[in-house]
């Protein structure tokens, strides 16, 4: 019972956050269509994610990164949709539904960890399939399969930018929700501490480090948008 009422409350929050679906690909003066980026700050509410330090949970770091990235992307002319901009507990299906309504040129699922080093990028572990015919029904569990080649190009672009900013990079693939359910080029971005030894390790909570990674990612998304514009197709 309690769960149901919480879900109902959340659906109201979601409606407030995603007005009008396609509307999010906003037409701005001059006829330029703002490209939409979806940022999914993983975890939230009772799902705290990994413990980053004694007082910090992963859910707080993912939200901080999403908010940071949102302002950088807005300044670069993107429309940005956050699946959550507070401590809401959303299911992975709710996240995917919200993301898929946005018709985004890129969807980033943001995680954080206290183990490992640098930035870990992952694309879906599904097998790529040929793009389905327009209007064809897409199986929910495998929705990302048709977008996988684009997702891998997007991950490579973000990886290049991360490497150029001298942050170690790990590229991989993973079967995970909501990544597998997204109908857009989609990459999981997990931030891990910077530096090897415990003494000179920069934690993921470090504002300067978060900003460095966010600037790299935002730069890669600008390139991604420009490539899409010059080829005349949505990437
Ligand atoms: Zn996580």
Give me ligand 1 centre to Cα 62, in Å: 8
Cα(109) to centroid of ligand 1, in Å?
9
Instruction: Over range 85-108, report the average pLDDT.
Output: 96
The predicted structure's pLDDT at residue 23: 35
> 167 and 174 in contact (C-beta within 8 Å)?
no
Instruction: Calculate how far, in angstroms, residue 188's C-alpha sits from the geometric centre of ligand 1.
Output: 10
Distance 214 CA to ligand 1 centre (A): 17
Spatial separation of the C-alpha atoms in residues 76 and 220, rounded to whole Å: 11
- Is the model's pTM score more than 0.85? no
| Domain assignment present for 191 | yes
Distance 61 CA to ligand 1 centre (A): 10
Name the domain count of the chain. 1
Q: What is the pLDDT of residues 11-52, one digit of tens each?
A: 333 333 333 333 334 444 444 578 999 999 999 999 999 999
Residue 25 lies in a domain: no
User: Which residues surround the ion ligand 1 when the cut-off is CB under 5 Å?
Assistant: 42, 49, 111
Is residue 179 a part of any domain in this protein? yes
Mean pLDDT of 186-204: 87
Are the beta carbons of 182 and 94 closer than 8 angstroms? no
Q: Is the pLDDT of residue 216 over 60?
A: yes
Beta bridge partners of 1: none
Tell me which residue range forms the domain holding 214.
40-127+141-231
For residue 93, is it within any domain?
Answer: yes
Residue 147 lies in a domain: yes
Residue 55 pLDDT > 50 = yes
Question: What is the per-residue pLDDT for 17?
Answer: 36
What spacing in Å lies between the alpha carbon of 42 and ligand 1's midpoint?
6
Torsions phi, psi for 163 (to 5 deg):
-65, -40
Q: How far is the CA of 220 from the centre of ligand 1 (A)?
A: 22
What value does the CA radius of gyration of the chain take, rounded to a whole number of Å? 17
CATH of the domain at 220: 3.40.630.40
Is residue 226 domain-resident? yes
């Amino acid at each position: 019972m309690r769960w149901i009422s919480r879900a109902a409350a959340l659906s109201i929050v979601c409606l407030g956050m995603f007005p009008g679906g396609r509307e999010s690909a906003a037409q701005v003066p001059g006829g330029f269509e703002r490209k939409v980026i979806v940022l999914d700050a993983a975890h939230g509410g009772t799902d705290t994610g990994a413990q980053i330090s004694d007082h910090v949970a992963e859910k707080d770091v993912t939200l901080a990164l999403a908010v940071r990235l949102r302002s950088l992307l807005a300044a670069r002319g993107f429309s940005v949709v956050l699946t959550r901009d507070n401590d809401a507990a959303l299911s992975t299906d709710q996240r995917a539904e919200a993301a898929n309504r946005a018709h985004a040129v890129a969807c980033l699922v943001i995680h954080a960890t206290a183990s490992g080093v640098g930035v870990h990028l992952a694309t879906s572990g599904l097998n790529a399939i040929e793009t389905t015919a327009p209007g064809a029904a897409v199986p929910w569990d495998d929705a990302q399969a048709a977008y996988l080649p684009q997702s891998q190009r997007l991950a490579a672009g973000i990886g290049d930018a991360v490497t150029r900013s001298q942050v170690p990079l790990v590229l991989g693939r993973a079967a995970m929700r909501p990544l597998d359910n997204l109908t857009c080029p989609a990459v999981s971005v997990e931030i891990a501490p910077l530096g090897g030894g415990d003494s000179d390790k920069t934690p993921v909570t470090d504002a300067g480090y978060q900003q460095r990674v966010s600037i790299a990612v935002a730069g890669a998304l600008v390139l991604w948008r420009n490539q899409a514009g010059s080829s005349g197709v949505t990437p």
